[in-house]
Each structure stands twice: as structure tokens, then as C-alpha cells.
């Protein structure tokens, strides 16, 4: 609404200025017509040799019609100047509105650029966050693999311990068998000697 008002005011002032010019032209025509009438009356008065009536008519025309029309014309010129001033003021106001609109458009452009930069920054941060999450997942996977390896090593150690215990047991069994065999051999040797 505010943007349309200066335009409307500008059009109204232009229309009023045109009307004022037309009124001034009409006044000029009337004055010219009165001048012609005055000349005709003067000629008629000269023909009739009515000098006193001629002076009275001239005075009456000057005092009433011509003077009145002159005043009207002066008033119209004053009004025309006032309208021209209003028109200049409206144009200045319209120019100011245009400057304000340009400033607003520049501000909007700056805000759009800032929004674009913010979106790009958010996108970059999101990409970095994804990379960090990938690294964390990779570390977790490696940790799980190491845990499984440690579990496997622990299992191997337990198996080796059990195998060592079995070897010890078999060694003691072999020693026991060797002792028994030796004792038996000794008994056999004693029997042979007897």
C-alpha cells in the first residue's frame, strides 16, 4: 500500500497540473475575447462619439472583468506552482522509496548469501561428522577383531597348558612303567641266579 501511494499522488498531481494549464489557457482565451470585445466597444463608442460612456464602459471592464480574470489567472499560477512543488516532493519521496527498496534488496541478498554459507558450513560439518562416525566404527571393528584375536590366543594358551599337563602325566606314567619294568627285570635276574 505504501509503495502505491506515492505513485497515485504523482498521477493526481500531474492531472491537477494539466487541469490548471487548461484553466489558464481558458482564462487567456477569455481575456483575448474581452480584449476583442473591448476594441469593438471602443470602435462603436468612437462611431457614436460617446466618449463619456466609453470611459465608463472601459473602466467597468477593467475594474470588473479584466481585473477579476487577472486575479483568477494569478491564483491559477500560484496553484500551478504549488502543484509543481507537490509534484517535486512526490518525486523525491518516490526516489527515497526506490532507494529504500534497493537497500532492502541488498540486505535480502546478503542474508541469502549468509544462509548459503551457513548451509555449506552445516553440510561440511555433517560430512566431517560422518567421517568421524566411520572412523569410530572402524576403530570399534578393529577393537572387536583384536578382542577375538586375544580370545583365540587365550584359547591356544589354555590348549598348550592342557597339552603340557597331558605330557607331564604321560611322562610320569612312562616313569612308573620303567620302574615297574626295572623291578621286574631285577626279580627275573634274581630268579635266574637262584
Q: How many C-beta atoms lie closer than 10 Å to residue 3's C-beta?
A: 11
Q: How far apart are the first and last CA of the chain?
A: 144
In the predicted model, residues of the chain with pLDDT beneath 50 are: 1-2
Specify the pLDDT at position 152. Answer: 76
Question: Tell me: the pLDDT tens digits for 97-152?
Answer: 888 888 888 888 888 888 888 888 877 777 777 887 888 888 878 878 888 887 77
What pLDDT sits at residue 194?
Answer: 58
CA-to-CA distance for 194 and 192, rounded, in angstroms?
5
pLDDT in tens, 116-129: 888 888 777 777 77
Distance between CA atoms of residues 8 and 47, nearest Å: 58
Distance CA 173, CA 171 (A): 5
pLDDT at 1: 47
Q: What is the pTM of this model?
A: 0.35
Amino acid at each position: 500500500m505504501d509503495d502505491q501511494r506515492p505513485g497515485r499522488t504523482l498521477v493526481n498531481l500531474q492531472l491537477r497540473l494539466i487541469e490548471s494549464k487548461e484553466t489558464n489557457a481558458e482564462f487567456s482565451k477569455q481575456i483575448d475575447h474581452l480584449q476583442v470585445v473591448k476594441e469593438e466597444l471602443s470602435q462603436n463608442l468612437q462611431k457614436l462619439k460617446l466618449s463619456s460612456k466609453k470611459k465608463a464602459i472601459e473602466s467597468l471592464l477593467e475594474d470588473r472583468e479584466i481585473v477579476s480574470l487577472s486575479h483568477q489567472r494569478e491564483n491559477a499560477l500560484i496553484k500551478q506552482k504549488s502543484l509543481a512543488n507537490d509534484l517535486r516532493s512526490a518525486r523525491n519521496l518516490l526516489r527515497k522509496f526506490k532507494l529504500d527498496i534497493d537497500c532492502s534488496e541488498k540486505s535480502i541478498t546478503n542474508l541469502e548469501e549468509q544462509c548459503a554459507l551457513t548451509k555449506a558450513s552445516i553440510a561440511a560439518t555433517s560430512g566431517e561428522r560422518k567421517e568421524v562416525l566411520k572412523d569410530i566404527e572402524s576403530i570399534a571393528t578393529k577393537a572387536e577383531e583384536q578382542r577375538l584375536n586375544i580370545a583365540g590366543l587365550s584359547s591356544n594358551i589354555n590348549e598348550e597348558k592342557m597339552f603340557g599337563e597331558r605330557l607331564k602325566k604321560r611322562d610320569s606314567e612312562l616313569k612308573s612303567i620303567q620302574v615297574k619294568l626295572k623291578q621286574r627285570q631285577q626279580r627275573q635276574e634274581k630268579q635266574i641266579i637262584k
